[in-house]
Chain A
Amino acid sequence: MHGRIRTWGPGALVLLPTVLLLGYFVYGLIAWSFNTSLTNRHTARKGPADYVGFENYGHLFGEDRFLNSLKNLGVLTVAFIVGTLIFGLLWALLLEKGVPGESIFRSIYLFPMAISMIASGVVWGWLLNPSQGADARGLNRLFEILHLNFLENPWWTAGSRWTTMASIALPAIWQLSGYIMALFLAGFRGIPPELREAARVDGASEFKLYRHVLFPQLSPIALSALIILGHMSLKLFDLIYAITGPNQFRTEVPAIYMWNTLLRSDQAKAAAIAIVLLAVVAVLVIPYIAYTVRQESEE
């Protein structure tokens, strides 16, 4: 800051290895993938390939299968974000004033977060068994036992895109609601108590207190939560792999489609799918990073 190499030089030097590593392994490899996506490298073979421009992208966006995977991803993302935010916020609201045993509730709500998506996918794949009636298994069997037969459904195996992808979102919501709860809870606890007091003294109702005083304070956290959930959902792979297997058209998302394409050694196409996925994430994340960094430097 003082413009003297002696003062800031060592700091820059310390960060140099990181910058070089990430420069290669993040930015360099992205460029490499992008480069591959512009070629006709449709086999596993090595050696030179010809550039075909954006042909692979053109094919992708003219392909029903890819468009299907994008639509699936869109539905999955909406269901997952809405579900997780509702549960997370609700749990935080229920806990934020403190109840007896709060830490127990908090820990149990949060624990699914510690489990791998593969493990929870194995379990949920079993719970979401599509058989119904006398042969019902998993959750459908539970609904039978509780005489809630009307709740039975084929989960991800039949029905609309919404039923299918919401079934996939359900385990993800189960896993991550606790995380969003923890974020909001920290937010509530970070609000100075005087603010509540002042609002109450002014005669604000509980509803108005939340609506006009507390929620506005939480909006930065809500934004973070949205970005985190959004980018997680776009990358979601393990859960679908474990619940339905990677070869299901109904639940295919770009991340899974890319894997299937790679299994056929179609490198150029796989790279193009990956770059589209990256572009979607970047649209979401870059403005957020810019906003965060600018805000921090103002402080």
Chain B
Amino acid sequence: MSVDVAAATGEAATAVRRKPQKRGVIADGSTRRSRTVRYVLLLLFLLFVLIPVYVVVITSFKNSADTTAARQWSLPQTWTVEPWRKAWDVLQPYMIRSLSLAIPAAIISSMIGSVNGFVLARWRFPGANIVFAFILFGMFIPYQAVMLPLRTTFTELDVTRGVPTLILAHCIYGIPICTLIFRNYYATIVPNEIIESARVDGAGLVQTYARIILPISMSGFVVTLIWQFTSVWNDFLFALFLTQQDNGPVTLGLAALAGGQKVDYAASMAGALITSFPTLLVYILLGRWFIGGLMAGALKG
């Protein structure tokens, strides 16, 4: 660190050279003023994030006469739940299909990921790294590259169109991310010595997994379940390629509700909120782990 850099950033430098006890300086080295600036900026960005939320919520409670250009940002003249009722009538069957799809898909891929992750982290074999790379690549592929033959394969396998097809697809293509999350999780929380001593005591892989690993896997499962539930729920591409309007998940339903010639904006907005509700609920209830899941989504996060 050269001296001229300090000179170039004169103001910041003096701010720190003061003794931390001095007035106006907070323990972390920043001044009160810089802290106020930070706070104001944070609030401004909060506005940027929340503006769409405001307009969606108010629009969803308006009647169609009230959604004119001039009144778009104003509160409803008369509040009505009619758009919600309308959207719900359309979306309800889709919501049920999405639930019966996302829950099993999340559970199955999490279970496979847990076993895989354990082996890759703590029961390694020669060539495990190659297998790991082989699995990892599946996480990044654009699904367009497999979509056409996937549809043919499912037709040949005679899987029922709709929920079963999607469960299968999401389980298979969810394995890489679940494996990665569990692998990182076990690599951090399970000391190698425990596994070694279990092996010395003659415990096999199944025993070690069932007795030692599974009981401490709870938070790993929470992370993969949240991650998978959210991404399966939000998926649109598989839904579009592998199902039809009458047996598809809620993203298809919403696209249909909000598309078309004559769009009912209020109902579309209510529909967007209804569709987002389950993932938002998961996020609000399990937010702390959700963040953990997002971190795990980054390879070295």
Q: A123-B269, A203-B17 are in contact. Are A255 and B126 (CB under 8 A)?
A: no
Which residues of chain B are near A235, meaning CB under 8 Å? 142-144
Nearest chain A residue, comparing its CB with the CB of B283: A114
Nearest chain B residue, comparing its CB with the CB of A5: B125
Which one of B15, B124, B230, B291 has the highest number of Cβ atoms from chain A below 10 Å of its Cβ? B291
CB interface residues, A 202-227, toward B, < 8 Å: 202-208, 211-212, 220-221, 224-225, 227
B301 adjacent to A183 (CB under 8 Å): yes
**Chain A binding surface, main DSSP class:** helix
B30 adjacent to A97 (CB under 8 Å): yes
Q: A26-B137, A99-B35, A220-B300 are in contact. Are A131 and B131 (CB under 8 A)?
A: no
Which residues of chain B are near A179, meaning CB under 8 Å? 294
B141 adjacent to A30 (CB under 8 Å): yes
B96 contacts A by Cβ under 8 Å: no
Interface string of B259-283 (1 = CB under 8 A from A): 1000001001101110110011011
Which residues of chain A are near B236, meaning CB under 8 Å? 116-118, 237-238, 241
A82 contacts B by Cβ under 8 Å: no
Q: A11-B124, A18-B135, A118-B254 are in contact. Are A208 and B6 (CB under 8 A)?
A: yes
B73 adjacent to A145 (CB under 8 Å): yes
A126 contacts B by Cβ under 8 Å: yes
Interface string of A119-161 (1 = CB under 8 A from B): 1101111110001001111100110010000000000000000
Interface string of A273-290 (1 = CB under 8 A from B): 111011001000110111
A66 to B13, CA, bound (A): 53
A138 to B176, CA, bound (A): 40
Q: How many residues of B contact A (CB 8 A)?
A: 104
A80 contacts B by Cβ under 8 Å: no
Interface-located stretch among B77-85, B146-154, B159-167, B214-222? B146-154
Which residues of chain B are near A135, meaning CB under 8 Å? 69
Cross-interface CB contact of B279 among A1, A115, A204, A290, cutoff 8 Å:
A115
A84 contacts B by Cβ under 8 Å: no
Report the 7 A-B pairs with minimum CB-CB distance, sorted nearest first.
Answer: A8-B125, A116-B234, A205-B13, A29-B146, A32-B149, A10-B205, A278-B145
Provide a sorted-by-A list of 26 A–B residue pairs whose CB atoms are within 8 angstroms. A8-B124, A8-B126, A11-B125, A30-B141, A90-B45, A99-B42, A109-B46, A109-B49, A114-B276, A114-B283, A117-B236, A120-B272, A174-B48, A182-B294, A182-B295, A183-B298, A221-B298, A231-B142, A237-B144, A238-B237, A270-B148, A274-B148, A292-B299, A293-B133, A293-B136, A296-B129
14 more CB-based (< 8 A) A-B contacts, given A126-B269, A206-B12, A242-B255 = A1-B126, A30-B145, A115-B234, A122-B254, A122-B269, A131-B69, A183-B298, A206-B29, A208-B1, A255-B142, A273-B144, A275-B145, A277-B145, A289-B137
